[in-house]
């Protein structure tokens, strides 16, 4: 397990931008702390997988467009843990003073950038393919991001800052829809993967947890 985390940390060090990349030793230390039961914060620049609490599927994307709605890059729930297309970089809202290594408080607006394709987790008023709820897609790129990429973090329970394995909801700023998934699955292009969409109602199906990943250590001054 430790070697696997270190390998991922080294890969990130070699491939990610300098503004979010971490040294292998720092990233490996953060991941090792998680595996040893030490409390780990999610910080800006961390690369994580989000697990849907109810179904245990991971938030996932790949360079396959929707065949309906916006036609943008599709976002799904993926059943297997070991897939590099389920990694997301935690980014701040542009124009804020937030920096790499800062912790993230409940109520904060964040963005999630898909590590492999560099596009942003996005939503809008297009209908999702299976349920007809709000479509969730990946859109834009390094220099192309808008308010459709903004998600407000809400921590479930008493915690004030986001930590690994903590129950959270992400509410889309523009539409008010919560990041949502359910056991409705695709049968063709993304066979076996389940729909991810936006839903304006607060339900048990829109709770997520930060699972596997490389968690950058806290660097903000106390």
Q: What is the DSSP string of 101-141?
A: T-B-BTT-EEEEEETTT-PEEEEEEEEPTTT-SEEEEEE-B
Contacts for 99 with CB less than 8 Å, ≥ 6 apart: 44, 92, 219, 220
70 secondary structure, DSSP code: T
Given this model, what pLDDT does residue 1 score? 41
Q: What pairs with residue 153 in β-bridges?
A: 170
Q: What predicted TM-score, i.e. pTM, was given to this entire model?
A: 0.85
Residue 198 CA to residue 179 CA, distance in Å, equals 5
Structural domains present in the chain: 41-212 (2.80.10.50)
Given this model, what pLDDT does residue 29 score? 41
The structure tokens listed for 207 are: 């709770």
Residue 50 CA to residue 219 CA, distance in Å, equals 23
Rounded alpha-carbon distances, angstroms, from residue 29 to 67, 156, 212, 216, 218: 42, 27, 14, 9, 12
Q: What is the mean pLDDT of each run of 10 residues along the chain (222 residues)?
A: 43 43 41 62 98 97 92 95 95 96 97 98 96 97 95 93 96 98 83 93 96 91 56
């Amino acid at each position: 397990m430790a070697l696997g985390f270190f390998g991922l940390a080294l890969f990130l060090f070699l491939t990610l931008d300098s503004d979010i990349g971490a040294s292998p030793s720092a990233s490996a230390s953060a991941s090792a702390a998680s595996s040893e039961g030490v409390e780990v914060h999610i910080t800006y620049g961390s690369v994580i997988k989000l697990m849907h609490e109810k179904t245990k599927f991971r938030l996932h994307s790949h360079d396959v467009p929707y065949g309906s709605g916006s036609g943008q890059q599709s976002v799904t729930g993926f059943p297997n843990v070991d897939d590099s297309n389920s990694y997301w970089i935690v980014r701040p809202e542009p124009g804020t003073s937030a920096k790499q290594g800062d912790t993230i408080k409940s109520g904060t607006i964040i963005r999630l950038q898909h590590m492999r394709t560099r596009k942003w987790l996005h939503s809008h008023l297009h209908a999702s393919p299976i349920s007809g709820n709000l479509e969730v897609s990946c859109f834009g790129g390094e220099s192309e991001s808008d308010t459709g990429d903004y998600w407000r973090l809400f921590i479930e329970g008493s915690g004030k800052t986001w930590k690994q394995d903590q129950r959270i909801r992400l509410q889309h700023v523009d539409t008010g829809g919560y990041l949502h998934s359910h056991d409705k699955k695709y049968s063709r292009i993304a066979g076996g993967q389940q729909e991810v969409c936006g839903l304006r109602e607060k339900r048990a199906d829109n709770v997520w947890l930060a699972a596997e990943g490389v968690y950058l250590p806290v660097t903000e001054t106390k």
